[in-house]
Chain A
Amino acid sequence: MNDLIIDGVTLKSRLFVGTGKFPSPQIMARAIDVSQTELVTVALRRVDLNNPNDNTLSALDFTKYRLLPNTSGARDAAEAVRLAKIARAACRTNWVKLEVTPDPNYLLPDPVETLKAAEELIKDGFVVLPYINADPILARRLEDAGCATVMPLAAPIGSNRGIRTADQLAIIIEQAGVPVVVDAGLGMPSHAAEAIEMGADAVLVNTAIAIADDPVRMAEAFRLAVEAAVLAREAGPGGESRLARASSPVTGFLTDEVASS
Chain B
Amino acid sequence: MTFLDKLQQLDFSAIRRALEAVTPDDVQRALTRERPDEGDIIALLSPAADGCIEQLARRSAHITERRFGKVIQLYAPLYLSNECVNKCAYCGFSHELDVERRTLTVAEAMKEADAIHDEGFRHILLVGGEDRRYLSIPYLLDVVQGLRRRFDSISIEIQPMSTEEYAALAAAGVDGLTLYQELYDRERYAHYHLAGPKRHYDKRILAMENGGEAGFRSLGIGVLLGLSDWRFEAVITAYHARFLMRKFWKSRIAISFPRILESAHHFAPEFKVSQRDLAHMLFVMRLMAPDAELVLSTRESAAFRDNMIGLGVTRMSAGSKTDPGGYTADGSGRQFDIEDSRAPAQVAQAIEARGMEPVWKDFDREFIVRSSS
Contacts and interface: CB of A to CB of B under 8 A. Distances in A.
B66 A47 contact: no
Interface stretch (B38-46, B337-345, B357-365): B357-365
A207 B66 contact: yes
Nearest to B66: A158
Given A25-B357, A86-B366, A160 B66 contact: yes
A78 B367 CA distance: 9
Interface of B: 65-71, 122, 152, 217, 245, 249-252, 290-291, 352, 355-357, 359, 361-364, 366-367, 369
B364 A45 contact: yes
Interface string A93-126: 0000000001111100000000000000000000
Interface string A64-82: 0000000001110011001
Contacts of A1: none
Contact of A45 (B67, B250, B363): B363
A83 interface: yes
A22 B66 contact: no
A210 B70 contact: yes
B216 to A, nearest CB: 12
B357 A104 contact: no
B367 A45 contact: yes
Interface of A: 20-25, 44-48, 55, 73-75, 78-79, 82-83, 86, 102-106, 158-160, 207, 210-211
11 contacts: A21-B70, A22-B357, A23-B356, A23-B357, A45-B361, A45-B362, A48-B122, A79-B366, A103-B250, A104-B251, A105-B245
B69 A20 contact: yes
A24 B352 contact: yes
Contacts of A159: 66
A23 B359 CA distance: 10
Contacts of B245: 105
Given A21-B71, A46-B359, A47-B361, 16 more contacts: A21-B68, A21-B70, A24-B352, A44-B366, A45-B362, A75-B367, A79-B369, A82-B366, A86-B366, A102-B249, A102-B250, A103-B249, A104-B217, A105-B245, A158-B66, A158-B69
Q: Chain B interface secondary structure, helix, strand, loop or mixed?
A: loop
B364 A44 contact: yes
B291 A105 contact: yes
Contacts of A73: 363-364, 367
A78 B357 contact: no
A79 B370 CA distance: 12
Contacts of A105: 245, 249, 252, 290-291
A158 B67 contact: yes
B68 A46 contact: no
B122 A21 contact: no
Contacts of B68: 21
B367 A46 contact: no
A104 B291 contact: yes
A152 to B, nearest CB: 21
Nearest to B356: A23
B123 to A, nearest CB: 11
Contact of B70 (A23, A82, A158): A23
Contact of A104 (B122, B252, B359, B364): B252
Contacts of B357: 22-25, 55
Contacts of A55: 357
Which of A45, A79, A106, A207 has most B Cβ within 10 Å?
A45
| Closest CB pairs A-B (n = 4) | A21-B69, A104-B252, A23-B70, A105-B291
Contacts of A48: 122, 361
A73 B217 CA distance: 10
Nearest to A78: B369
Contacts of A24: 352, 355, 357
A134 B94 CA distance: 55
A24 B355 CA distance: 7
A22 B363 contact: no
B302 to A, nearest CB: 21
Contacts of A75: 217, 250, 367
A48 B245 CA distance: 29
B150 to A, nearest CB: 11
B247 to A, nearest CB: 13
Contacts of B152: 45
